[in-house]
Chains A and B, each alone.
Chain A
Amino acid sequence: MAHGHHQHHAAEKDLLQLSGKANGLATVLLIVGIVAVLASLGVSMSSGGLKRFYHAYMTGYAYVFSIAFGGLFMLLIHYLVRAGWSVAVRRIPEALAGTIPIMGLLAIPLVVCAWSGKGDVYPWAQAKPAHPTGSWVHTIEESTAVGPKSAHHGEAADSHSDDYHAKPAHSAAHGSHDDGHAAAPGAKPVSALTMGKMVWLNPAFWTGRIIFYFVFFSLVALYFIRKSRGQDTTGDHTVTERLNLAAAPLTLLTFVLFTFAAFDLFMSLDPDWYSTIFGIYYFAGSIDAMVATTIIIAAVLQRAGYLQHSISKEHYHDLGKWLFAFTFFWGYIAFSQYMLIWYANIPETTYWFAKRGATTNPQQMQLLGGWTVWTLALLFGRLLIPFAGLLSRHVKRNNASLIFWAVWILVFHAVDMVWVVMPEYELGFTFGLPEVASLLGLIGIFTGSVVWRLTRSPLRPVKDPRLPESLAFQNI
Chain B
Amino acid sequence: MATITTIPHMPVRNGDDIDNTFDDARIRAPLIVGGKGFADVTRVVTRIALEEPPGWWYLAFAGALGLLSLMGITIGYLMLAGVGVWGNNQPVAWAFDIVNFVFWVGIGHAGTLISAILFLFRQNWRTSINRFAEAMTIFAVICAATFPGIHVGRPWLAYWLFPIPNQMAMWPQFRSPLLWDVFAVGTYFTVSLLFWYVGMIPDLATLRDKSKNRIQQILYGIFSLGWTGSCRAWHRYERAYLLLAALSTPLVLSVHSVVSFDFATSQLPGWHTTIFPPYFVAGAVFGGFAMVLTLAIPCRALFGLKDIITLRHIDNMNKVMLATGLIVAYAYSVEFFTAWYSQHYYEQFAFQNRVFGAAPWAFWCMFICNVFAPQILWFKWARNSLVITFIVANFVNAGMWFERYVIIVTSLQRDFLSSSWGMFKPSWVDLALLAGSFGLFFTLFLLFIKFLPIIAMAEVKSIMPQAHAHGHGDPDLDRTDYRPDETAHDHPGGKAHPAV
B residues in contact with A113, CB < 8 Å: none
Is B267 a contact partner of A336 (Cβ separation < 8 A)? no
A residues in contact with B89, CB < 8 Å: none
A residues in contact with B476, CB < 8 Å: 84, 469
Cβ of B257 within 8 Å of any chain A Cβ, yes or no, is yes
Is B477 a contact partner of A1 (Cβ separation < 8 A)? no
Interface size class of A (residues with CB under 8 A): 35 or more
Is A165 a contact partner of B272 (Cβ separation < 8 A)? no
List the B residue with the shortest CB-CB distance to A470. Answer: B477
Q: How far is the CB of A7 from chain B (nearest CB, A)?
A: 10
A residues in contact with B28, CB < 8 Å: 84, 469
Is B326 a contact partner of A252 (Cβ separation < 8 A)? yes
Instruction: Kindly identify which residue among A84, A275, A469 contacts B274, using a CB–CB cutoff of 8 Å.
Output: A275
Is B274 a contact partner of A336 (Cβ separation < 8 A)? yes
B-contact 0/1 string along A427-455, CB 8 Å cutoff = 00000000000000000000000000000
A residues in contact with B267, CB < 8 Å: 344-346
Considering the chains assembled together, what is the distance between the CA atoms of A396 and B26 in angstroms? Answer: 30
Instruction: Kindly identify which residue among A276, A279, A337 contacts B335, using a CB–CB cutoff of 8 Å.
Output: A276
Contacts A200-B341, A332-B253 given; indicate if A341 touches B477 (C-beta within 8 A): no
Is A4 a contact partner of B477 (Cβ separation < 8 A)? yes
B residues in contact with A274, CB < 8 Å: 338, 341-342
A residues in contact with B250, CB < 8 Å: 328, 332
A residues in contact with B341, CB < 8 Å: 197, 200, 263, 274
Is B330 a contact partner of A468 (Cβ separation < 8 A)? no
Considering the chains assembled together, what is the distance between the CA atoms of A248 and B325 in angstroms? Answer: 13
A residues in contact with B348, CB < 8 Å: 166
List the B residue with the shortest CB-CB distance to A345. Answer: B267
Contacts A196-B343, A469-B476 given; indicate if A340 touches B326 (C-beta within 8 A): no
Is A197 a contact partner of B343 (Cβ separation < 8 A)? yes
A residues in contact with B342, CB < 8 Å: 166, 193, 274, 348
Cβ of B456 within 8 Å of any chain A Cβ, yes or no, is no
B residues in contact with A348, CB < 8 Å: 342, 344
Is B25 a contact partner of A472 (Cβ separation < 8 A)? no
A residues in contact with B481, CB < 8 Å: 1-3
Considering the chains assembled together, what is the distance between the CA atoms of A467 and B326 in angstroms? Answer: 31
Q: How far is the CB of A151 from chain B (nearest CB, A)?
A: 24
Cβ of A167 within 8 Å of any chain B Cβ, yes or no, is yes
Considering the chains assembled together, what is the distance between the CA atoms of A81 and B125 in angstroms? Answer: 13
B residues in contact with A240, CB < 8 Å: 25
Cβ of B277 within 8 Å of any chain A Cβ, yes or no, is yes
Cβ of A89 within 8 Å of any chain B Cβ, yes or no, is no
Q: How far is the CB of A293 from chain B (nearest CB, A)?
A: 22
Is B343 a contact partner of A165 (Cβ separation < 8 A)? yes
Summed over the interface, the residue pairs from A and B with CB atoms below 8 Å come to a total of 152
B residues in contact with A259, CB < 8 Å: 334
Considering the chains assembled together, what is the distance between the CA atoms of A304 and B477 in angstroms? Answer: 29
List the A residue with the shortest CB-CB distance to B345. Answer: A166
> Which residue, of B1, B326, B338, has the highest number of chain A Cβ atoms within 10 A?
B1
A245-259 CB contacts (< 8 Å) to partner B: 245, 248-249, 252, 255-256, 259
A225-258 CB contacts (< 8 Å) to partner B: 235, 237-238, 240-241, 244-245, 248-249, 252, 255-256
B residues in contact with A340, CB < 8 Å: 261, 264-265, 272-274, 276-277
A residues in contact with B477, CB < 8 Å: 4, 468-469, 472
B-contact 0/1 string along A450-476, CB 8 Å cutoff = 000000000000011111110011101
B residues in contact with A200, CB < 8 Å: 341
Is chain A's interface secondary structure helix, strand, loop, or mixed overall? helix
Is B479 a contact partner of A4 (Cβ separation < 8 A)? yes
Is B334 a contact partner of A466 (Cβ separation < 8 A)? no
Is A237 a contact partner of B277 (Cβ separation < 8 A)? no
How many chain-B residues does the 8 Å CB contact rule pick out? 53
Is A237 a contact partner of B343 (Cβ separation < 8 A)? no
Is B272 a contact partner of A344 (Cβ separation < 8 A)? yes
Considering the chains assembled together, what is the distance between the CA atoms of A276 and B272 in angstroms? Answer: 10
Contacts A196-B343, A276-B335, A340-B265 given; indicate if A237 touches B25 (C-beta within 8 A): yes
Cβ of B422 within 8 Å of any chain A Cβ, yes or no, is no
Q: How far is the CB of B285 from chain A (nearest CB, A)?
A: 15
Is B264 a contact partner of A277 (Cβ separation < 8 A)? no
List the B residue with the shortest CB-CB distance to A391. Answer: B246
List the A residue with the shortest CB-CB distance to B2. Answer: A465
A residues in contact with B330, CB < 8 Å: 255-256
B-contact 0/1 string along A1-34, CB 8 Å cutoff = 1111100100000000000000000000000000
Is A235 a contact partner of B2 (Cβ separation < 8 A)? yes
Q: How far is the CB of B159 from chain A (nearest CB, A)?
A: 27
Cβ of B23 within 8 Å of any chain A Cβ, yes or no, is yes
B residues in contact with A194, CB < 8 Å: 343
Considering the chains assembled together, what is the distance between the CA atoms of A24 and B480 in angstroms? Answer: 43
B residues in contact with A345, CB < 8 Å: 267
Considering the chains assembled together, what is the distance between the CA atoms of A435 and B49 in angstroms? Answer: 67
Considering the chains assembled together, what is the distance between the CA atoms of A78 and B482 in angstroms? Answer: 26
Instruction: Kindly identify which residue among B26, B257, B470, B480 contacts A336, using a CB–CB cutoff of 8 Å.
Output: B257
Cβ of A49 within 8 Å of any chain B Cβ, yes or no, is no
Cβ of A333 within 8 Å of any chain B Cβ, yes or no, is yes
Cβ of A422 within 8 Å of any chain B Cβ, yes or no, is no
Is A333 a contact partner of B265 (Cβ separation < 8 A)? no
Cβ of B173 within 8 Å of any chain A Cβ, yes or no, is no
Is A165 a contact partner of B344 (Cβ separation < 8 A)? yes
Instruction: Kindly identify which residue among B253, B378, B470 contacts A1, using a CB–CB cutoff of 8 Å.
Output: B470
A residues in contact with B121, CB < 8 Å: 81
List the A residue with the shortest CB-CB distance to B336. Answer: A276
Is A241 a contact partner of B344 (Cβ separation < 8 A)? no
Instruction: Kindly identify which residue among A81, A241, A255, A467 contacts B23, using a CB–CB cutoff of 8 Å.
Output: A241
B-contact 0/1 string along A272-284, CB 8 Å cutoff = 0011111110000
Considering the chains assembled together, what is the distance between the CA atoms of A124 and B345 in angstroms? Answer: 20
Considering the chains assembled together, what is the distance between the CA atoms of A339 and B272 in angstroms? Answer: 11
User: Given known contacts A196-B343, A348-B344, what 17 new A-B pairs fall within 8 Å (CB)?
Assistant: A3-B483, A4-B478, A4-B479, A237-B2, A238-B25, A252-B326, A255-B330, A259-B334, A276-B275, A278-B274, A279-B334, A340-B277, A345-B267, A397-B485, A465-B1, A468-B477, A476-B238
User: Which positions in B face A, CB cutoff 8 Å?
Assistant: 1-3, 23-26, 28, 120-121, 177, 238, 242, 250, 253, 257, 261, 264-267, 272-278, 326, 330-331, 333-335, 338, 341-345, 348, 378, 470, 473, 476-483, 485
Q: Which 4 A-B residue pairings sit nearest by Cβ, starting from the closest?
A: A276-B275, A240-B25, A196-B343, A277-B274
Sample (20) of A-B pairs whose CB atoms are under 8 Å apart: A2-B478, A3-B479, A5-B478, A165-B343, A165-B345, A166-B345, A241-B25, A248-B378, A252-B326, A256-B333, A274-B341, A276-B275, A276-B335, A278-B274, A336-B276, A337-B274, A341-B274, A465-B2, A469-B476, A469-B477
